[in-house]
Amino acid sequence: MQKLIIILVVLATSLLSAQSNYEKGMQKAFELWGSNNPIEAANMFERIANAEPDNWLPNYYAAQINIVNSFGLSDEKQLTAQLSKAQDLINDATAISKNNPEILVLQALLYTSWVAYDGATYGMTMSPKVVAIYTQAEQIDPQNPRVVYCKAEWGIGGAKYFGQDTKPFCKELERALELFANFKPETPFHPNWGEDRTKMLLESCK
């Protein structure tokens, strides 16, 4: 009986320790990202992903960093390498958590980066994929504020490009802001970004 108690205590301690290491690692990675060290942050998220094979979040954030930092790149080789890396990370996250609207948003943003880099080359092939992904994500979770705001921002970009009215998409941004006000992430490490960007886009709508 005593041996059993000791074993249970050891198991409980190791589980708490593992959880603590995960939390410490995630916090450190976010700190690195916040202090303008995205490469170091992405590397740390990847290390956490290797240690947490059943957790989609570290892969998600490593992919997000690569995608966010790809916008504005002018070197095609660097862009290709970065987005290829992001795609691998998205694939890994998707294998763990299928039909996840948060991961779908990242996939859409990855394609958007290609369109932003060279619309003439990638617009025809990537744009329909972006629209399809946002439609799928919205069907899965119509109350997800990132899905609504990112879909609206994509719509605004397309409307401006083709000289169309952006008002319907601006209304969607207002809806997204309401969803942000009521959104509660599952854990402190689950995605909770986009509200500031939504407010900024709404200001430009005015």
- Number of domains composing the chain: 1
**Is 7 strand, coil or helix?**
helix
The CA distance from 196 to 40, in Å, is: 24
The CA distance from 185 to 97, in Å, is: 16
CATH code of the domain in which 55 resides = 1.25.40
Q: What is the residue whose two structure tokens read 């599952």?
A: 186
**Residue 87 domain-assigned (yes or no):** yes
Neighbour-count burial of 147, counting CB atoms closer than 10 A to its CB (0-12 exposed, 13-18 middle, 19+ buried): buried
**Residue 3 domain-assigned (yes or no):** yes
The CA distance from 5 to 75, in Å, is: 60
**Residue 197 domain-assigned (yes or no):** no
Q: Taking residues 23-29, report their average pLDDT.
A: 96
Q: pLDDT tens across 28-66, in order?
A: 999 999 999 999 999 999 999 999 999 999 999 999 999
Give yes or no for a contact between 114 and 126, defined as CB atoms under 8 angstroms apart.
yes
What integer pLDDT is reported at residue 18 of this predicted model? 52
Q: pLDDT tens across 142-198, in order?
A: 999 999 999 999 999 999 988 999 999 999 999 999 999 999 999 999 999 999 999
**Residue 177 domain-assigned (yes or no):** no
Confidence of residue 199 (pLDDT cuts 50, 70, 90): very high
* Among 150, 161, 65, 67, residue whose Cα is nearest residue 101: 150
Structural domain boundaries enclosing 29:
1-99
What integer pLDDT is reported at residue 206 of this predicted model? 81
What integer pLDDT is reported at residue 69 of this predicted model? 96
Stated pTM of the model: 0.89
What integer pLDDT is reported at residue 13 of this predicted model? 43
**Residue 16 domain-assigned (yes or no):** yes
Q: pLDDT tens across 57-94, in order?
A: 999 999 999 999 999 999 999 999 999 999 999 999 99
Query: Which residues lie closer than 8 Å to 120 by C-beta, 6 or more apart?
Result: none
